[in-house]
Structure 1
Amino acid sequence: MNNDKALEFRLENLSCAHCAAKLERRIASLPGVRAAKLNFPAARLTVYGNVGRETVIDEAKRDGVTAIPAGEDNGSEQPLPSFWAKYRRAVISILTGVLLIAGWYLDYGLAAQTGAGAMYLACIIIGGYPVGRKAFSSLRGRRLDMNVLMSVAVIGAVFIGEWSEGATVAFLFSVSDMLETYTTEKTRGSIRRLMQLAPTSATVIRNSQEVKLPVSQIMAGDILLIRPGEKIALDGIVTAGSSAVNQSAITGESLPVDRRPGDEVFAGTINGEGSLQVKVTRTVKDTTLSKIIYLVEEAQAQRAPYQTLADRFAAVYTPTVMALAALLITIPPLLLAKPWEPWLYRGLALLMVACPCALVISTPVAIVSAIGGGARHGVLIKGGMHLETLGQLKALAFDKTGTLTVGTPEVTQILTLPVFQPDKLLTLVAAVEYHSEHPLAQAIVKRAMSLTLNSGLPPAHDFKSFTGLGAKAVVEGRRVLVGSPRLLEQHGIDTGVWQATLANLQEQGLTVVMVAIDGEATGCLALSDTVRPQAAATLDSLKKLGLHPLVMLTGDHMATAGSVARQIGIPDYQANLLPQDKVLAVQTLRERYGSIGMVGDGINDAPALAAANIGIAMGGAGNDTALETADVVLMTDDLSKLPFAVRLGREARRVIKQNIFFAISIKTLAVLLVFPGWLTLWLAILADMGAGLLVTLNSMRLLALRPKQANPAAVNKNVAGCSMAAGG
């Protein structure tokens, strides 16, 4: 059975969580189905087993749900929905409202009881039919849900002659259903917008010909032609051309970034004014955008601690209230000789408010909104549990390289003997290092190329590499030796004149490359890993949020760690740490401060990320490891999104608490109004609808939360003169 196929479907017209659960159970019970998983927030259904697509589609139709097989659900390939399909619930609500008003006018204005009864009956049938159909389905499955309760209340009202009340309930429930559908679709908007980002076809260069193909037919290795203004259809590497690409949809970056040959681009991003040729590296199912959509959907479906608590409460609350309603209906007439009709009415009203819909949705709707809003701004939170943990953070630990620093070395100082110009020395060294793949060598070449512009580097002859030490070559007739001081000593070159300089540079945490020309120690290059421009401002923002302590953990030596710490304003740091030492440090911080987060690059910090309460990875766009290992992923190397993520977690927790308070308070008040007979049927359904609408609208405020713009002065603070070694 493990080899059974998995069928994926997108679902339309699915707005009720209870209905979704019933549909999931029914499909799971179909012949040949091993399991079914319905993700209600994402409206996605996965069916495992040996079953035909049409069987699943037909079963979904029984509830008025349209199941569209995955791969056929791209909005640009689907016909637009009909007016009835799009506005059915609104039309029903308006029609029932007109019938109800007409009934009231005939009843209370003209005293035409027969005509009023006809209007009320039509209102009940039209407005109550969708509810009655769902209630019938629930009863067949031997389940009592809100649809059964509402149907019983309407039928009971008619039975005791309260036609006006029954029609009012049918109308209000129709409006409630319409609002629930609207708000559910609204919270799914972030996923739908992501799905529509990437085009469904692209221009491919094959056999020197331009061919327009569906993305499903484009393979890894194909060359895409991206014209100015077009969306990039698939992930790939630029092979020709240069342009500015708007990556905000994937990384959350506010400004376009320059892309040249060798740079990576992502599906769903928008090309600027230049033309690009892109070699495809991921097919449509494996693009970064596809992974983000999948992870957001999975995250929105995960249950948070508050949600589990609410569900447990609801599981006890609903049968308790149903039992109370039965006692309320029977005890006064049987034991106290009270008339049946008023107590039957009060029991029906109590049943009306029995289903804790608002309480059940109070947490998931907030989680869906927060995760969707975070994804829109480049922060991927992989579940409600992690969202809540973000809001509980007390302290943060940071990796250094690739997190607080850029992670790539840069040449910061060039020192030479008086007989040599620094730029000339750099050119000769870069000519030798041009043949090396070492990160330090690449940094030297990059710096030299920025100075030589179009003149290029002189050729190097007789190149020879010394593993772990350096290299040598002949450039412009000069014998150039580049590498560590030990390499020069092995070649019999005296470095005594440079010892004081070397010691001073190393105390600053710099990596030093010595240079000997024609057998003489002529100069040295100092390289450092650059502090991220946003690091200092981000740490200031985190301190203002009350996070303490902020600790840097690095494998670099103490001098380097101290240099970085001073520049970015982080007083607590630990150096010379192996990966297992970082794990131990995180565990110690966790025991001391409680909830702690670890921020790393998602590649070599996986053990420490796992040891923290929540792992936060940098640079997730295109980084499969970060997407898979971390609990929270900052989709661009922008540290300033970290305070936004913490604020989002805190605001989500606050909204969830508010929602639970609103839901319980309104329900409790409604139940208390039953006993003196003050709660009418229409007021009961209005209270239920109002509570659900209130918690939904309150949760949707999370969609409006945005990252704060960094203060340019703070961003540039302490950036000049950065000096630290690469590593750790």
Structure 2
Amino acid sequence: MAEQLVELNVTGMHCNNCAMSIHKLLEKKGLKDIMVDFAGEEVKFSGGSPDDLPVIIKDIEGLGFKVVDDPALQITPFYDKIENKFLFSAILTAPLLLHMVLPWHFLHNPVVQLIICLPVFILGCLHFGKSAFNSVKGGVPNMDVLIFVGSSAAFIYSLVGTIENLGERYQFYETCATIITLVLLGNVFEKRSVSQTTSAVKDLVKIQQVNANLVVNGGIEVISARDVRPGDTLLVNEGDKVPVDGEVLSGNASINESMLTGESIPVEKEKYDKVIGGTIVEHGNIRMIATKVGSNTVLAQIIELMKKAQAAKPPVQKLGDKVAAIFVPAVILIAIITFILTFYAGHEGMRISLMNAIAVLVISCPCAMGLATPTAVMVGLGRAAKNGILIKGGDTIEAVSHAKYVVFDKTGTLTTGKFSINNIKAEGGADIEQIRGIITAIEERSNHPIAKSLVKGLETLPKTKLILKSVKEEKGLGMRAEDIEGNHYFLGTGKSSVEGEFNLTLYKNQKQLALIAVDDEIKPEAANLIAQLKKMNIIPVLLSGDKHSRCLKVAQQIGIDEVHSEKLPDEKLVVIEIYRQKGKTIMIGDGINDAPALTKADVGVSMNDSSQVAIQSARVVLLNTDLNSVVKFLQISRHTLLTIKQNLFWAFAYNIVAIPIAALGFLNPMVGAFAMAFSDVVVIGNSLRLKKKKLS
């Protein structure tokens, strides 16, 4: 039995280092499938018994975070809001800085400076000190350790100077207060930017929060969509959002499904049609029965995918994480060495030695490294989602960016999946109406595009009705059936020697009954997509279970040179593995028979109208069946990876340049604190640029 996944809402995480503290704590407890998303304020894990949960929550809170029921309902006290802490610090820091330029002599008095600085220092100790202490206790020292040590050193040094009346050269109260104020300013920017990067998920969550009109004993009761149960009858009027997934019982409506498909043209719905929660009724009204509610709805699953994707780390981040983890102890060591060398070897005074050491501490911000990847991934995923592309993992982005091959299934992927019967050839004097009846009875039980088209194509033609006892679909082969009289039927391709235009065979009791010729249309945008892929130096490949002559015909029409036809699901796996050995491989497919290949490929991509199995097997779902979204997906992935690399370069380069400058004494601690906050803003700003950036 699978272990239960525990989900906790944790507030108080403000950077990747916070997330790593919790991750390390949970790892030490032997928990599995750990996922900590600092931006989404979520922690998930499995393993451990239910009795352990109170202890785990207590230990997470022991690190300085808070476990809450619902972050949206959590009211942050006035004094705990980061914006208010910053304003309080800024008001008191201003006179400490102004004493350098204003002729007010009382501001030069060390006791006055101490009185003004003390509240800021206490605030800094409570805000950064608690987090610093808990992070050291948890074995993952975070950036707050540097801020706390730096500001405390400046304050204590100044306090000793004031008590012993050592004069102005020992007054650094403004340094202590400014460090705290500027870092709080950086935290304010960070909080706002992170909330912008997570806006895609928040927008989707808002869509879920609607009311539903429940039909009870002929009357209407308004309830929250959360309280709807499967089997409930709901009334949805013009202008309303469909509250949950379900089926239409009565009425007609035009429903805008653009939030799922990106397609703005409304879809007409009538009795028995499926409707999806969160879509909008633009015209008409319907009564529906709820089939999927809560976490089972399409929208809830999309939100879950987005959250998982935001938390999944690309390999490129692992380097950043490793550096961030050893960074804080390394910086403290560099600061100590700087102090010793400046004081003893450089024969500088205590004042200069201490200032240089403090400058090293406050300039070294691993936060920029921690933010480099998650912010870019969040914005990239959000932009993809707005274009109807659901990516199931941040690590997917990196695999896609290096793709060398894109392998396409043919039916329903490169072709429309709308088939027409060109010809039915009856064998051995069989009755054509009886053949049509057998085909309809069997294919009614399948979701395959060919099956649906056959049923639709035959619905107006005369046929003999057949009652079936059982029908079974065989992956990549066709359908087996048995009627109430015990006759056995097979309809499909299999490995049959179907010749010429005919591509399906119907057997009755292992005797050939008919040959059927079926054709489908190529999607109008397919040729353009193949041309675009070739421009991007990606090799397109066709991999299908269909006959070689048909696959070749489609490949020639749209410009694909590499063709693998007549492949069963297990044979498709072998082909995918061969391509994977040569380079990163993306597989795009839509049917149950593609599911193993989608899982095997470096990245599996499925269409929204695919079978549920294909959607679950793929790491990317294209909600818009237009193939142009494949190019958009590749472009977004490439630009997201480029943004991550730019962010990491900036974060590394900044620290490599800034630390030696600070150690050599060319950087005032206040300038260092400002530069540190600025580095976070640059990284986040570069990530946000991805929202509007022109993709090429």
Q: What TM-score do the two structures reach when normalised by structure 2?
A: 0.81
**Which residue matches 2:382?**
372
Q: Kindly provide the CA deviation profile for residues 272-313 of structure 1, in whole angstroms up to 9, marking residues without a partner as x.
A: 212122222222121111111112211211121111111223
Which amino acid letter does the alignment assign opposite residue 187 of structure 1? T
> Which residue of the partner structure matches residue 625 of structure 1?
613
Equivalent in the alignment of 1:294 = 304
Shift of 1:8: 2.9
- Asked whether the 8 Å contact 1:16–1:181 carries over to 2, the reply is no
Instruction: Give the alignment partner of residue 188 of structure 2, picking from 173, 178, 181.
Output: 178
Equivalent in the alignment of 1:42: 40
Amino acid at match of 2:550: T
Report Cα offsets for 1:176-227 as digits up to 9, x if no partner. 1111111222222111111111244422334444333344443323332211
Residue in structure 1 matched with residue 602 of structure 2 by the alignment: 613
Deviation, structure 1 residue 641:
1.2
Task: Report the alpha carbon displacement of residue 150 of structure 1 after superposing the two structures with TM.
Answer: 0.7
Distance 1:370 1:469, change over 3 A: closer
534-543 or 135-144, which deviates more: 135-144
Q: Are residues 671 and 238 of structure 1, via their aligned partners in 2, closer, same or farther at CA, if it must alter by over 3 Å?
A: same
CA contact (8 A) 2:605 2:618 kept: yes
Aligned residue number for residue 124 of structure 1: 121
Does the CA-based 8 Å contact 1:4-1:49 persist in structure 2?
A: no
Cα distance in 2, alignment partners of residues 343 and 373 from structure 1:
49
* 1:541 match: 532
Preserved CA contact (<8 Å) 1:509 1:559 = no
SS at match of 1:232: coil
Amino acid at match of 2:536: L
Distance (Å, rounded) in 1 between the aligned partners of 2:603 and 2:533: 16
Tell me how far apart the structure 2 counterparts of residues 242 and 293 of structure 1 sit (CA, whole Å): 29
TM superposition shift of 1:142 = 6.0
SS of equivalent to 2:271: coil
Taking only aligned residues, the RMSD between alpha carbons, in angstroms, comes to 4.1
The one-letter code sitting in structure 2 at the alignment partner of 1:265 is: V
Q: Distance in 1 between matches of 2:613 and 2:326?
A: 42
Question: 1:133 maps to which residue?
Answer: 130
Distance 1:664 1:82, change over 3 A: closer
Partner amino acid, structure 1, of 2:306: V
- The superposition leaves residues 6-58 of structure 1 with CA deviations (integer Å, 9 ceiling, x where unpaired) of 6533344532333344456668899x999975332432134654359888777
**Residues 403 and 586 in structure 2, CA contact (< 8 A), matched pair in contact too:** yes
Deviations along 1:534-589, whole A, 9 cap, x unmatched? 32232233233231x21111111122112222333323322122223222222222
Structure 1 SS opposite 2:673: helix
Alignment of 1:390-429 (within 5 A): 390-411=400-421
Moved more, 524-533 or 434-443: 434-443
Given the superposition, is the C-alpha separation of residues 8 and 525 from structure 1 closer, same or farther in structure 2, using an over 3 Å criterion?
closer
CA distance in 2 between partners of 1:590 and 1:319 (Å) = 41
CA distance in 1, matches of 2:150, 2:522: 66
Superposed CA offset, 1:141-167 (max 9, x none): 465322121111112112143111111
Q: Secondary structure at the match of 2:287?
A: strand
Specify whether residues 707 and 557 from structure 1 end up closer, same or farther in structure 2 by C-alpha distance, changes over 3 A only.
farther
Secondary structure, counterpart of 2:592 in structure 1: coil
The alpha-carbon deviation at position 609 of structure 1 amounts to 2.0
- Do the aligned partners of 1:234 and 1:282 also contact (CA within 8 Å) in 2? yes
SS at match of 2:283: coil
CA distance in 1 between partners of 2:573 and 2:442 (Å): 34
State the shift of 1:93 in Å. Answer: 1.8
Matched, 1:154 2:154: no
The answer as to whether partners of 1:128 and 1:170 remain within 8 angstroms in 2 is no
Shift of 1:117: 4.2
Do the aligned partners of 1:509 and 1:563 also contact (CA within 8 Å) in 2?
no
Per the alignment, residue 111 of structure 1 pairs with 105
CA displacement 1:209-256 (0-9 Å, x = unmatched):
433334444332333221111111211222322222222223333433
2:690 alignment counterpart: 702
1:591 maps to 581
Hey, what's the Cα distance between the residues in 1 that align with 2:451 and 2:180?
A: 75
- Give distance in 2, aligned partners of 1:7 and 1:470: 43
- 1:493 counterpart residue number: none
Matched position secondary structure for 1:274: strand
Please give the alpha-carbon distance, in whole angstroms, between the structure 2 residues aligned to 1:3 and 1:566: 47
Identical residues among aligned pairs (%)? 26
- Change in CA separation of 1:433 and 1:50 when aligned onto 2, cut-off 3 Å: closer
Mean Cα deviation higher: 264-273 or 18-27 = 18-27
Q: Distance in 1 between matches of 2:374 and 2:25?
A: 23
Question: 1: distance between equivalents of 2:516 and 2:568?
Answer: 28
- How far did residue 666 of structure 1 move? 1.2
Q: Report matched runs for 1:406-555 at 5 Å.
A: 406-411=416-421, 437-438=443-444, 443=453, 446-447=456-457, 507=500, 527-547=518-538, 549-555=539-545
Structure 1 SS opposite 2:316: helix
Write the distance in 2 (CA, Å) between the matches of 1:50 and 1:6: 11
SS of aligned partner of 1:220: coil
Structure 1: stretches of 5+ with no match in the other structure: 416-425, 450-456, 472-482, 485-502, 514-522, 709-728
Match of 1:653 in 2: 641
* Match for residue 362 of structure 1 among 364, 372, 383: 372
> Which ranges in structure 2 are unaligned for 5 or more consecutive residues?
159-170, 426-431, 472-477, 482-489, 492-496, 507-513
After TM superposition, the structure 1 = structure 2 runs for residues 63-142 of structure 1, keeping only pairs within 5 Å, are: 67-69=67-69, 78=73, 81=75, 84=78, 88-109=81-102, 110-112=104-106, 113-114=108-109, 115-126=112-123, 129-141=126-138
Give TM-score scaled by structure 1 length.
Answer: 0.78
Q: Say whether the 8 Å CA contact 1:511–1:528 is kept in structure 2.
A: no
Once the two structures are superposed, the pairs formed by residues 222-237 of structure 1 within 5 Å of their partners are 222-237=232-247
Output the amino acid matched with 1:569.
G
Letter in 1 for 2:523: R
Alpha-carbon distance in 1 for matches of 2:184, 2:480: 77
Q: Deviations over 1:443-478 (max 9, x none)?
A: 3663577xxxxxxx598677689999999xxxxxxx
Deviates further, 2-11 or 125-134: 2-11
Residue 352 of structure 1: how far off its partner (Å) = 1.7
Q: What is the distance in 2 between the residues matched to 1:470 and 1:347? A: 78
